[in-house]
Structure 1
Amino acid sequence: LATDAVAGIQDMGAAGLTCSTCETASRGGSGVEIDLAKVPKREPGMTAYEILLSESQERMLIIAKRGKENIVCETFAKWDVACAEIGRVTDDGMMRVRNNGSVAAEIPAKPLAEEAPLYEREATKPTAAWTDDTDLQNRIATQSTVDALNSLLADPTIASKNWVYRQYDHTVRTGTVVKPGSDAAVFYIREADKIVAATTDCNSLYCALEPREGGRIAVAEAARNLTCSGAHPLAVTDNLNFGNPYKPENFWQLREAVEGIAEACRAFGTPVVGGNVSLYNESPAGVVDPTPTVAMVGLIDNEKHVTTQWFKKEGDVIILAGSDGGTASGDSGYNTAGERGYSLGASRFLKVCFGKKIGPVPKLDLKLEIAVQSAVGNLIRLGLLRSAHDCSEGGLAVALAECCFNPDASLGAQIDLCSNGPANREEDASRKYAAATEQNRLLETCAILFNEAQSRIIVTCDPENAEQILSQLKYIPHARIGSVIKSELRISVKGENLGWPVAELHELWWNSIRRAVETDSEPIPSL
């Protein structure tokens, strides 16, 4: 691209040459003619049909400027990458395919690319897996919150992925700014002199229960992760993993998830610039949970704005910005928290501790989400924050623990959710406790710690900046909930003082996946 020899470029994904040629011609308002005899092939005797639809990986279609073809070929040769000149751009709007001297296909490019038939398949909404289970409420009321946090941090969905990323060189070409483990990867692109952040997100449990909401949340969480890293979200690519779309329930899930992604992308102004679809993911044991994974990239304006999720300094103030964790009035479905209305529906807490995959899914208010992200992003760019981390799987307790795991030196936190926290604003908490049953108190404790309400970000700052930050957050829900301390996570909630040694939490979180996949007889190497 730096040689100015390229007029256009597109990757070859679904349908291989067929899509890449007709789409580039259509967008350019031109035609294209290719010769399949010149296309590199993996085996002899391939038919024109097979060559056109082959989805061999790691291929790009490049439109070189006339007279600069040699520059393109020389560049590929320098990097020992194969290339071949297979055709030319025409001005007749046709996609023309030749093979061994004869015309194998000829069709207008624009209708093929942009006017393909749209199928309306049968779609049926599955029965919602929501229940009001009194026995489950009794079990939750006896669940140790200390043990619950331990179990959640050891869950592979939440646990550190270091066993995976340490097997690869994540510092290739020394452009890595933030190493793996924080909310987003941050890296420097020397050729463009830009700092870019990237993240991937999807909660398949949300998508199984309410795919439209799950799709919206996947986009919102990806944007939230970029915001917490100091970036402006720019664009999205997705990877849609679903079951057999000919089954009405599966097609309904696919359609709803895509609509949810589209709605959220429009709200954030993040176009979907590419993607991949993987269908028929099922076996005799059943279909996979819908997993529309969203990958999002963002731009960081200044190196000073790069922010990570970890607590930085003892004594710093901890503030929770965003939703208070309650559900909207009138919400139906599984609810464990009585008066305050916090829902544990679709939470990792229910899945990990009780094996339950039941809703309702947390509701996402896109206006609030954008307001929270805008406020936190502005604070980062003003240089007022030391850290920022979003709340997602596992809720507030898990997010606080993750903030403690600073790779340079672990820290702890003293958190008060009894008086001024957004999780509990009763004027006379002690009187409320006396009136409530012990079971309700325990249910509310679990719900406050582990509900997965959206639009929440934990930030820290120098105590001298706390009042200025609280003033900046006045238009969104927020609360000063604690301070950074040494070596222990302490949380006061519903009249109970809970505590976890950070070193023990980190050990569970850091080593869980390694223990699950390695054996003494055949350890899997890591870098």
Structure 2
Amino acid sequence: MEEVYKLYGLTKEEYESIVKRLGREPNHVELGILGALWSEHCSYKSSKRLLKLFPTQGEHVIQGPGENAGVVKLDDKVWLAFKIESHNHPSFIEPFHGAATGVGGIIRDVLSMGARPIALMDSLRFGLPLDSKTKHIVKGVVKGISHYGNSVGIPTVGGETFFEECYKTNPLVNAFCLGIIPAGRMFRARATKPGQLLFLIGSSTGRDGIHGAVMASGEFSEDTESKRPNVQVGDPYFEKKLIEALMRIIEEDLVVGIQDLGAAGLAGASSELANKSKMGVVLYLERVPLREEGMNPYEILLSESQERMLLVVERDKVQRLKELAKDFHLEGEVVGEMTDDGMFRAYFHGELVAELPVSLITEEAPVYERPSREPDYIKQVRSFKEEELEQKDIKDSLLKLLSSPNVCSKEWVYSQYDYQVGTNTVLVPGGDAAILRIKWVVSPEIKSEKLVALSCEGNGRMVFLNPYEGGKYVVAEALRNLACVGAQPLAITDCLNFGNPERPEVMWQLEMAIRGMADACKFFGVPVVSGNVSLYNETVEEKEIRNIYPTPILVAVGAIEGKRFVTHKFEEEGSLVFLIGDLKRSWGLGGSEYLKVVHGIVAGDVPAVDLKKEKLLHETLIKLIKEEIILSAHDVSTGGLMIALLECLFGTGLGLELNLYTEEALDRFFFSESPTRVVVSVEKDKEELLKNYVESVGLDWLYLGKVKGEPELIVKLYEEPILKENVEDLEKLWRDSLANML
């Protein structure tokens, strides 16, 4: 077979190891199975050794990595299942369907744990918004997410959207889903004994998505049109029927284990299920309900058609399952059974078309320790001398930042999502974190007295400049956002989006970022319970190689006791505004949006997070909110302090008078994105209470000014006015900029 293995995404060495293991050459179908399951997308062969650095255990953890989603305990009645995954490559090729099926896939990951999906979030990265191709991708992706989530009836309650040139041909579409489980009723992708049957339920199987896993594990070139058939096509209305059918199946106790069909289709789902069960599996492909005539065994096994689930069931439950499938207008058929010999076998009309050891498909995929080295650009960006920057007009800089696509309002995006369907959304998009109430729609007695908070964060630019410190920075910000609404963290799920790991510079970014994230998670005592790795986000065009910024995306899930929370917005005229946190270090402008937008530079080092002070700040915020000392809280992040203050004003009709006494350069004071800083507001009679408590725990405070009744921003430096602006004019610029660009 002269280099035929390349068609299946395998290397020569991988192919030779397969031949040696089998003692023969694999056939066309077997090569398809191994190519898909050994792909980077399915096997994590470049990252598996590094992922072991993450802490995965904790007092709330019920299920850590290794299943379709992580599960944590909220309280004695309710468990939470959640995960984030990428659908990056498909969303460049076919933005609408790529994004839509990303949402559908992550819903089924959570559903397969026996959970009812109740909330979605998304993290998006695109090229610059004035580029015509980028506009097409942005509109398609947002429309795809809104179409699927809105139609299936699950609210999209938060997320983030950033624009950088490096994502021009490799947009990132990361989708998160949260589901709820009655305590003790979690399912796994497991059979419990040989002879149990595999029941395929949901949509019929077509030719969409074949080669999807292999495609998602490769670099891009200018020719993407040929890959269009690799992108799946979803039907959210079918998914809604599948959700309700599976909830009924679980209520009636008809199922032993559940596995969703995602990458590598039926071949992937059945082999992974068999491996986790320490069993074998036999499939009868002629029984699979098809939507297209003439499909061959290869196509049936590797189709990634959407809205399908594989159930492990006892024989005496099959008839009832078929009745329920019919009731919900779904396909439902027994397509295989579990065996005790550890082999994967597939038959088609009596002919054996594939026979492989399950362990070869799953556990024996190669694990690489790829070479890594620090990129040359690191020394260059760190040689940047901030003191040599030309001083710019503060007002002009502020206006440029407010209209920057990374700072301005993302309402154009999230207003297309139904974020209140289901009536569980307590805090809508636009703040530091989303907040949900918990109620079980089937069993009204299953509800929680706690609120759930979700924060989604990623900062590829910071990780690009310093992957280790950038990894810490992202974790700290995700947890700080939870603290800003009063939530204690339960766990994290992550999606690691990086370039081509076969390039040593990219491998170094991946390794250092994971080490930074892992060190921060260990310090904060917050486990990583699920996630995804998306590599090969690279485009080769003629002589240009474009890798994305190293972009780890985190969703932190937290709980609010007693349902007491605050938002980021100022509430009362006359209330006092303070900055609290780690304020005595000299803050730089490294990696800031100000540096990029105003000076056209991406450079500097990442402000190192003092993890001890960061954790103190989180604990302090939670206590201040619980004891009703502060009225609002908002962390300083993209755009810096001045942007954070304005975000606290926008939508309130209020104004702010700042009275500053600082020797620091004003651009650094206003626009640095240094961590561990939060803007809080407090009633006048609680000012001393706030200051005393912040000092007592070893943190710093700085009085900034007072909230005004008129929508004016007045800034004084040593009593001298240096800026006076109408807040409504600033808000209009901030609110309209993205829509005007797109």
Aligning the two structures, in what range does the TM-score lie when normalised by the shorter sequence? 0.7 to 0.9
The 10-residue stretch of structure 1 (468-477 or 396-405) with the greater mean CA deviation from structure 2 = 468-477
Return the alpha-carbon distance in structure 1 between the equivalents of residues 320 and 396 of structure 2. Answer: 63
- Please name the residue that 1:329 is paired with: none
Residues 368-394 of structure 1, C-alpha deviations (whole Å, 9 max, x = no match) = 222211211122222333211111111
Q: 1:308 aligns with which of 567, 570, 576?
A: 567
Report whether the alignment pairs 1:413 with 2:664. Answer: no
Which amino acid counterpart does residue 673 of structure 2 have in structure 1? E
Cα 1:104–1:353 change in 2 (3 A) is same
Deviation at 1:310, TM superposition (A): 0.6
Report whether the alignment pairs 1:386 with 2:645. Answer: no
Q: 2:499 aligns with which of 215, 221, 243?
A: 243
Report whether the alignment pairs 1:468 with 2:689. Answer: yes
Report whether the alignment pairs 1:154 with 2:375. Answer: no
Structure 2 unaligned blocks of 5 or more: 1-113, 115-249, 441-445
The 10-residue stretch of structure 1 (157-166 or 187-196) with the greater mean CA deviation from structure 2 = 187-196
Which amino acid counterpart does residue 468 of structure 2 have in structure 1? R
Deviation at 1:76, TM superposition (A): 5.6
Which amino acid counterpart does residue 193 of structure 1 have in structure 2? K
Cα 1:495–1:484 change in 2 (3 A) is closer
- Please name the residue that 2:372 is paired with: 123
Question: Helix, strand or coil for the counterpart of 2:614?
Answer: helix
Question: Helix, strand or coil for the counterpart of 1:400?
Answer: helix
**Contact in 2 for aligned 1:445/1:494 (Cα 8 Å):** no
- Please name the residue that 1:299 is paired with: 559
Structure 1 unaligned blocks of 5 or more: 327-340, 419-423, 430-440, 518-527
Task: Name the TM-score, length of structure 2 as normaliser.
Answer: 0.59
Question: Helix, strand or coil for the counterpart of 2:736?
Answer: helix
Deviation at 1:41, TM superposition (A): 4.8
Return the alpha-carbon distance in structure 2 between the equivalents of residues 507 and 22 of structure 1. Answer: 55
Return the alpha-carbon distance in structure 1 between the equivalents of residues 320 and 631 of structure 2. Answer: 47
Cα 1:174–1:118 change in 2 (3 A) is same
Deviation at 1:400, TM superposition (A): 1.0
Return the alpha-carbon distance in structure 1 between the equivalents of residues 521 and 291 of structure 2. Answer: 39
Cα 1:62–1:188 change in 2 (3 A) is farther
Which amino acid counterpart does residue 552 of structure 2 have in structure 1? P
- Please name the residue that 1:272 is paired with: 529
- Please name the residue that 1:183 is paired with: 432
Cα 1:158–1:51 change in 2 (3 A) is farther
Residues 21-40 of structure 1, C-alpha deviations (whole Å, 9 max, x = no match) = 34444445555444333344
**Contact in 2 for aligned 1:206/1:214 (Cα 8 Å):** yes
Deviation at 1:159, TM superposition (A): 1.0
* Deviant stretches of 4+, over 6 Å: none
Deviation at 1:247, TM superposition (A): 2.1
Report whether the alignment pairs 1:368 with 2:368. Answer: no
Deviation at 1:514, TM superposition (A): 0.6
- Please name the residue that 1:140 is paired with: 390
Question: Helix, strand or coil for the counterpart of 2:390?
Answer: helix
Return the alpha-carbon distance in structure 2 between the equivalents of residues 42 and 281 of structure 1. Answer: 34
Q: 1:231 aligns with which of 477, 480, 487?
A: 487
Return the alpha-carbon distance in structure 2 between the equivalents of residues 325 and 106 of structure 1. Answer: 65
- Please name the residue that 1:483 is paired with: 706
Residues 411-436 of structure 1, C-alpha deviations (whole Å, 9 max, x = no match) = 22233341xxxxx4xxxx6xxxxxxx
Return the alpha-carbon distance in structure 1 between the equivalents of residues 268 and 719 of structure 2. Answer: 62
Deviation at 1:512, TM superposition (A): 0.7
- Please name the residue that 1:445 is paired with: 666
Question: Helix, strand or coil for the counterpart of 1:172?
Answer: coil
Return the alpha-carbon distance in structure 2 between the equivalents of residues 43 and 494 of structure 1. Answer: 75
Which amino acid counterpart does residue 342 of structure 1 have in structure 2? W
Question: Helix, strand or coil for the counterpart of 1:314?
Answer: coil
The 10-residue stretch of structure 1 (94-103 or 288-297) with the greater mean CA deviation from structure 2 = 94-103
Question: Helix, strand or coil for the counterpart of 1:205?
Answer: helix
Cα 1:116–1:261 change in 2 (3 A) is farther
Deviation at 1:99, TM superposition (A): 4.0
- Please name the residue that 1:499 is paired with: 724
Which amino acid counterpart does residue 322 of structure 1 have in structure 2? G
Deviation at 1:506, TM superposition (A): 0.9
Return the alpha-carbon distance in structure 1 between the equivalents of residues 511 and 276 of structure 2. Answer: 26
Residues 447-468 of structure 1, C-alpha deviations (whole Å, 9 max, x = no match) = 1111111122222222233322
Return the alpha-carbon distance in structure 2 between the equivalents of residues 23 and 484 of structure 1. Answer: 58
Which amino acid counterpart does residue 485 of structure 1 have in structure 2? K
Q: 1:350 aligns with which of 565, 578, 595?
A: 595
**Contact in 2 for aligned 1:239/1:278 (Cα 8 Å):** no
Report whether the alignment pairs 1:456 with 2:669. Answer: no
Deviation at 1:12, TM superposition (A): 3.8
Return the alpha-carbon distance in structure 2 between the equivalents of residues 467 and 488 of structure 1. Answer: 27
Cα 1:416–1:193 change in 2 (3 A) is farther
Return the alpha-carbon distance in structure 2 between the equivalents of residues 71 and 263 of structure 1. Answer: 50
Report whether the alignment pairs 1:510 with 2:735. Answer: yes
**Contact in 1 for aligned 2:635/2:678 (Cα 8 Å):** yes
- Please name the residue that 1:525 is paired with: none
Deviation at 1:291, TM superposition (A): 2.0
Question: Helix, strand or coil for the counterpart of 1:130?
Answer: helix
Deviation at 1:19, TM superposition (A): 4.2
Cα 1:214–1:516 change in 2 (3 A) is same
Which amino acid counterpart does residue 396 of structure 2 have in structure 1? D
The 10-residue stretch of structure 1 (51-60 or 239-248) with the greater mean CA deviation from structure 2 = 51-60
Percent of residue pairs identical = 38
**Contact in 1 for aligned 2:410/2:738 (Cα 8 Å):** yes
CA RMSD of aligned residues (A): 3.0
Deviation at 1:49, TM superposition (A): 4.6
Return the alpha-carbon distance in structure 2 between the equivalents of residues 89 and 361 of structure 1. Answer: 52
Return the alpha-carbon distance in structure 2 between the equivalents of residues 389 and 70 of structure 1. Answer: 55
Deviation at 1:103, TM superposition (A): 4.5
**Contact in 2 for aligned 1:228/1:390 (Cα 8 Å):** yes
**Contact in 1 for aligned 2:494/2:528 (Cα 8 Å):** no
Which amino acid counterpart does residue 713 of structure 2 have in structure 1? L
Cα 1:68–1:257 change in 2 (3 A) is farther
Return the alpha-carbon distance in structure 1 between the equivalents of residues 339 and 504 of structure 2. Answer: 43
Return the alpha-carbon distance in structure 2 between the equivalents of residues 48 and 380 of structure 1. Answer: 59
Deviation at 1:125, TM superposition (A): 1.6
Deviation at 1:488, TM superposition (A): 2.3
**Contact in 1 for aligned 2:537/2:548 (Cα 8 Å):** no
Return the alpha-carbon distance in structure 2 between the equivalents of residues 73 and 213 of structure 1. Answer: 54
Cα 1:139–1:185 change in 2 (3 A) is same
